[in-house]
Amino acid sequence: MTMKRKLYYYFKKEALLGNLSQNTFKTQGLIFIGIFTLLLFFKPYILSSFPLKPKLVLIIGYSLCSCIGFALSYSLFAPYNKKKWTRLLDFGLFFTCFVITWLLIYVYTILHVKLLFANIYNLEIEYQLPDQFLLYLFFYTIGTGSFTFLIIRAFDIYISHDKFSENLHHLKSIEIENNQANKNFKNKRKLVLIGKNKNESFTIDIDQFIYAKSEGHYIKIIYLHTNLKKIKFHTLRNKISAIESQLSEFDTIFRCHQSYIINLHYLKSVTGNKNKAYARLVYSENIPISNTYFEYLNKKTKTKKKTK
């Protein structure tokens, strides 16, 4: 296999965003703290040349520029996550974030050093930026950004691992419960979902299906991989009502919201009240529940806890 083909398959491979990466507020907080700490202690760019107050202004500004760069980049790439998030998109997110942050920091530095510092801090001598400052800034930004990116991903993997362990333990208890209550649950009954596009279909076992979510003209199917240890998703072009009718023969499948269909076998808990309630499934965040179904699902979770 040629190097070109190897790279093609590598970047085409699915790479799901972790829990932290999908929570932009937590990620921005970690980016701000990481960049602020790195710049405060290592003083790259031109920071070592300034007194304390201007230095802190620059450091805070650079940290905010990094947060803005990530937010803008994520908003550009987030729509692609509705279909399939690949390693190429993962790389594209980081590269776009780096370029935007690099340019923001450059403009921010020029603005403060050339105009604001003399007025705010009464610096008598205007600081001269080094020659080729834009290129100079490029290498420092990519170094700082890469280090911060590694910290974020390491923390992301740590959080995902904890959630995975918790969900895997719960999944094993579900399997024991299902085997005791109904040995036919593991009979590998096939679930076939058909999309609107020509020859578009998706087939999995019923015990792999976790939930389906409507996203515009598409339906995202969240399911367990065949080894039951990895969550994946598949997207079909269709309406949620059409998917519901295709799943009508399975008594464990339940439409809890106008945009969600869940597998009751993976229901962990229900929180909230009739006005605003959420269902928590194995391998999922909170899923909204329509007012009509709150009492039913709440009783369902209590019954499951009593039978354990």
* Domain ranges, ordered by start, for the chain: 3-162, 184-307
User: Over 50: is that where the pLDDT of 69 sits?
Assistant: yes
* Run of H or E including 302: helix 294-307
Please give the Cα distance from 185 to 194 (Å, whole number).
Answer: 23
pLDDT band at 104 (very low <50, low <70, confident <90, very high): very high
Please give the Cα distance from 148 to 132 (Å, whole number).
Answer: 25
User: Over 60: is that where the pLDDT of 173 sits?
Assistant: no
User: Over 50: is that where the pLDDT of 182 sits?
Assistant: no
Please give the Cα distance from 58 to 55 (Å, whole number).
Answer: 5
User: Over 70: is that where the pLDDT of 100 sits?
Assistant: yes
Structurally, at CATH architecture level, domain 184-307 sits in Beta Barrel (2.40)
Q: Mean pLDDT throughout 173-187?
A: 46
pTM score, whole prediction: 0.54
For 258-300, give the DSSP string: TTEEEEGGGEEEEEE-SSSEEEEETT--EEEE-GGGHHHHHHH
What average pLDDT is seen over the chain? 77
More confident residue, 33 or 128: 33
Q: Mean pLDDT throughout 171-188?
A: 47
